[in-house]
Amino acid sequence: MREAQVVSEQELSLLAGLASTRSIRRYTEDPIPDDDLNTILFSATRAPTGSNRQDFRFLVLRDGAVAAEAKALLGKAFREGWGQKRAGDGYDKGTGAADDSPKARTARAMQQFVDNFELTPVVVLPCVQVRHGGIQDGASIYPAVQNMLLAARALGYGGVLTGWHRLVEDELRQLTGIPEEFAIAGVVPLGRPQGNHGPVRRRPMAELVFDDTWEGQAPWANDPPGTRFAGRAPNKIN
């Protein structure tokens, strides 16, 4: 396990890591060595949970017998989920009809992601004990998922939090033994990124951060120079 205490110039700083971690859906077939996987899961377990109850559990699927079956089941679900989304959200219509449009590029990347799901080196199922059945249960698992993705980034891996397991949740529970009292909060594939990947894109902070009241302007909240945007650009805000 890598020493988290060591700070070297080679290592990514915390702030730089937060600013540059993005969803990665294309992986090489390189496995993730035990030591690195340990660091990733250790980092996950450092996240906070309600009253520090640590009601979170992480089921790691690698190359065991059950893992292969579970990955196949999830692959099927992901292809079905993406197929529904591709049609429902009109990915092949409008600008999506042009091969070089952002929409078409996204659709190609997503298709490749789901088509190759079974080859993902590591798939983690983050689970959490059901307490309220509402959004607040997520407060005890999604911070850990984010830590996991950030630690992966620190070690040169990437991943993404997805939710298409819900299409096969019963079979997945039966196969892996996840009990009913634990919610499966998502599916996190992890691997070495294939090829280059673009910048993190978000809406301008002015649309997301408010001061004092809802939609109250926060003059101190400004995207740093060079920020790439998704959705409306800052100069298009009225």
Give the residue with the Cβ less far from a second copy, 115 or 211: 211
Give the residue with the Cβ less far from a second copy, 100 or 180: 180
- Which residues are CB-neighbours of 100 under 8 A, at least 6 positions away? none
What is the torsional sign of CA 147, 150, 152, 155?
negative
Phi, then psi, of 202 in degrees rounded to 5: -135, 170
Q: How far apart are CA 91 and CA 218, in angstroms?
A: 35
Contact, 165 vs 125, CB < 8 A? yes
Q: Tokens standing for 229?
A: 């945007």
Q: How far apart are CA 119 and CA 129, in angstroms?
A: 29
Rounded least distance, CB 195 to a second copy, Å:
19
Rounded least distance, CB 158 to a second copy, Å:
12
- Burial code of 20-54, b = ≥16 C-beta within 10 A, e = fewer? ebeebbebeeeebeeebbebbbebbeebebeeeee
Give the residue with the Cβ less far from a second copy, 150 or 192: 150
Q: What angle do CA 130, 131, 137 make, to 5 degrees?
A: 75
Q: How far apart are CA 99 and CA 105, in angstroms?
A: 7
Rounded least distance, CB 93 to a second copy, Å:
17
Rounded least distance, CB 123 to a second copy, Å:
11
Rounded least distance, CB 161 to a second copy, Å:
6
Rounded least distance, CB 143 to a second copy, Å:
4
Q: Tokens standing for 86?
A: 């591709």
Total residues belonging to the chain: 238
Give the residue with the Cβ less far from a second copy, 183 or 190: 183
What SS3 class is residue 107? helix
